[in-house]
């Protein structure tokens, strides 16, 4: 059988019970969100949100990383002006620029 204890440490006067009852009743009404916040479900939801936020931050930072491909292309680019000017640009340089620049540099034929 479950052991039972005596209650001599419990005060037994109306003032004590009035005070305890007021505390208990206000605690029940104050609960609501606070009660939910203390539940395992709330902690799990908070953990998921933090994890999702962390993943979003990492994803955003990833887009700021240098374009490795572009850096490699630059490193491997031809040394001559026309070839070098073609690397790293989305479109071909204007022909006029190439001829003008080649003239100034005494470029390769």
Partner 1 sequence: MGNDDRGDAELLAAGARGDAEAFGVLVRRHIRSATLLAAQLLGDRDDAEDVVQDAFTVVYDGVDRFDSARPFAPWLFGIVRRLAENRRARAARRLRLLRRWGKGTVAEPEPVHVEAGLLAGADMDLVRRTVMTLSPMQRACFELVTVRDLSPAEVGAMHGIAEATVRQHVFRARQALRQVLNPEGDGND
* Chain contacts with partner 1 (rule: CB under 8 A): 1-10, 12, 17-18, 20-25, 27-29, 31, 35
CB of 53 vs partner 1, minimal distance in Å: 31
CB of 69 vs partner 1, minimal distance in Å: 57
Closer residue to partner 1 in complex, CB, 16/70 = 16
CA dihedral for 92, 95, 101, 107, sign (positive or negative): positive
Name the 3-class secondary structure at 84.
helix
Closer residue to partner 1 in complex, CB, 17/43 = 17
């Amino acid at each position: 059988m479950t052991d039972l204890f005596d209650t001599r440490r419990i005060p037994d006067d109306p003032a004590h019970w009035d005070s305890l009852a007021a505390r208990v009743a206000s605690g029940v009404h104050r609960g609501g969100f606070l009660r939910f916040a203390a539940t395992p479900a709330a902690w799990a939801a908070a953990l998921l949100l933090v994890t999702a936020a962390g993943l979003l931050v990492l994803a955003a930072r990833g887009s700021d990383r240098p374009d490795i491909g572009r850096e490699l292309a630059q490193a491997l680019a031809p040394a001559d002006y026309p070839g070098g000017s073609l690397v790293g640009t989305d479109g071909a340089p204007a022909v006029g620029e190439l001829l003008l620049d080649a003239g100034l540099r005494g470029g390769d034929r």
